[in-house]
Structure formats: structure tokens, C-alpha cells
Structure 1
Amino acid sequence: MVEFCDDCGSLMHADGDEMVCSSCGARQGRDAEREAEFVSTEAQSTDDVIETEEGAEFEGKPTDDSVNCDECGHGVAWYTIKQTGSADEPPTRFFKCKECGHRWRDYS
């Protein structure tokens, strides 16, 4: 659950039955009615996570002939897309050459 301090606007965290401000230390009771509005991430699965580390079983999606490997010049690679910066920045594309396995990234 994410709440912000009424006094200073900073992020608060749960401490037992209270919410505590991480900046000014203000405390307030947890509101059970408001808690019902929040969704917990504890039960989320990682089934849709794409592994891009070396040795991962899933390599991503294949590109068309629009990329060139710096190592071998091959024009087709596997790719995955991840949001590595803030939400207002474009996502990063991670490539792995289908021919030689060289990895690189493109910040678009």
C-alpha cells in the first residue's frame, strides 16, 4: 500500500497498524476502508517476465533484416524490450545476434 504524508507529502510506509512518514516521522492509523481500494502485488506471478541474461531459455522475438550485428554483420537478431528509464523516456531494445550470439542494446 502506498500512502503520502498529510503533513509533508513524503512517502509513508506501514509499521504495524500505523503508517509512518519516511521524512518527518508523522504517524497515522491505517484506514481499513482505504486499504480495500489497493491491490497487493504479493500474489503476482513472474510468468510474463522476459529473461535476457545469457543462458536464458527465451531469447525474445526475431527481427526482420533491419539490424546489423557489429561483430559478424548478420542482419537478424532476437530482441526484447524493457522500460529501463522513467516512463516518459523510450524503452530500451536488447538484441542478440542469431548468428554469433553477440548482445547489444538500442535506446531508440
Structure 2
Amino acid sequence: MEFCDDCGSMMKTDGDYWVCGSCGAEKPRDEAAEKQAVTTQGQEESEVVDTSEVSAEEMGPTTETRCPECGNDRAFYEMKQIRAADESETRFFTCTECEHKWREDDH
């Protein structure tokens, strides 16, 4: 992946050049550098984490956060590493009132 030196936008390949979709700037591609780039191609996909069968007693600690369903301000939480090791953990919440489940990722 390349970013434009002029405007900072992500560039796309067009033959032997990187071309900025925003400002039109071009720069030649470096084949040797591209071969060393790390891609997500071939990496394992993360498994689906199912918390539907977990009882409230097993859910663990609670935290102050607002339930998007009922507006309650407490939820059980659990953190799991479900993406690549260099990505942050995902937080899973279960409302202490209505038991609505949701997740929160850092982006």
C-alpha cells in the first residue's frame, strides 16, 4: 500500500505506477519493495466467538457502559484476541438488565 506524498491519500496501482485517486499524483512502483510488503492474503481468519451459552455467573466482571438496547449503564465484559496479534483485543459486553450482547473494536 502506498500513500500520496502530496495529499496523503491512499494510492492505487495502474500498470507500473502508483496513482493517487484524489490529486492524480503518480510515482513509479518499486517491485523489490512490494515483494517485501506484508499482506493479509493467506492469513487465517479469526473464529466466531459465541457467548450466547454463557450464564451470567460465568460472565465475570462488570463495567460502566451504556446498553444500546435498553440504556442500562452496567454490563458484563470479556476481552478476547480474535484478530491478528498486532491488533487490539475485542471487548464483548452483555447488559446486566436485558442481556443484550454487543462487541466493541478499536479501529
TM-score, reference length from structure 2:
0.50
TM-score calculated relative to the size of structure 1 = 0.50
